Amino acid sequence: MNATLRTLFKGSGTWHDGPVPPPNMERRWSDLAWIAAIALLVRIVYLAFFSALPWFDAPRVDAYAYHAIAQRIAGGDWAPEGLSEGLSTLYVYTLGTLYALVGDSPWTSRAFHALLGMATSITIFLCAGRITRRPYALGAGIAYAVSGPVLFHEALILPETLGAFLHTLLLLFVLDVPRSNRSYGRPLAMGIVLGAAVLLRPSALLLALPCLVSLRTIRPALLFVAAASVSIAPATLRNRIIDGENILVVASG
């Protein structure tokens, strides 16, 4: 089977014997700058057109719910009731914090999402660079940066943009584990990111298993579980105290 795969991929340049060689750092920074510039430019142009649409400053359905509760949080109501019923806990509080800091303009969430989209493009490039050659990694990062569906969802007041960043960041940590198997900072960071992803969407808890498998040994795995548990615990306590519900994060999602 292994020989067959080598034959299939040898011509495409995507099969490697041994680890991918370390990149030239000067070239790496240049690649990061190009991806960031492309991602940011595309988002500026897209938002310039999107801002002319009638629903740019009139969020609807779920977007309106997130916007309204974030406004309450920004106004000082840091424990609004009903969050355990299905809204993304992390996204509501992130949006509320942004509103408190810079105001609840229609541009606040869109600018935040644009920066997240740029960061996700870079993270995808870094992930791809761990497993394949530079041209393919560049292609992956740029493909995300200019993707139409991605740009559309980034313009909505919904948690998917933050979720994409957290999931790709978690993947980057997983891919870096073999390079840092003596560092306990990595499993702690992985646990915090997984906890944040679960606070965003509880279904991300399914990612705990591949993370644990990648850590390989007991102590890093325990640190990972501890960090994730501490990250999630405030939402569980909040649901019990404020809503009177024994719910880990939310009742759905």
User: Each residue's pLDDT tens digit in the chain (253 positions)?
Assistant: 444 434 433 443 444 445 555 556 678 888 999 999 999 999 999 999 998 888 888 888 889 999 999 999 999 888 777 665 678 889 999 999 999 999 999 999 999 999 999 999 999 999 999 999 999 999 999 999 999 999 999 999 999 999 999 999 999 999 987 665 567 888 999 999 999 999 999 999 999 999 999 888 899 999 999 999 999 988 888 877 777 777 777 766 5
**CA-CA-CA-CA torsion for 183, 195, 167, 125, nearest 10 degrees?**
-30
| CA distances from residue 62 to 156, 159, 171, 174, 221 in whole angstroms, order as listed | 10, 10, 28, 32, 36
**Which residues, other chains included, contact 249 with Cβ-Cβ below 8 Å and sequence gap of 6+?**
84, 89, 198, 199, 202, 232, 235, 236, 239
**Which residues, other chains included, contact 18 with Cβ-Cβ below 8 Å and sequence gap of 6+?**
none
Maximum separation of any 2 CA atoms in the chain, in Å: 62
**13 φ/ψ angles, rounded to the nearest 5 degrees:** 80, 10
d(CA 131, CA 127): 7
The count of other CB atoms within 10 Å of the CB of residue 228 is 25
If phi > 0 it is left, if psi is from -120 to 50 it is alpha, else beta; for residue 102 that is: alpha
Hey, is 109 helix, strand or coil? helix
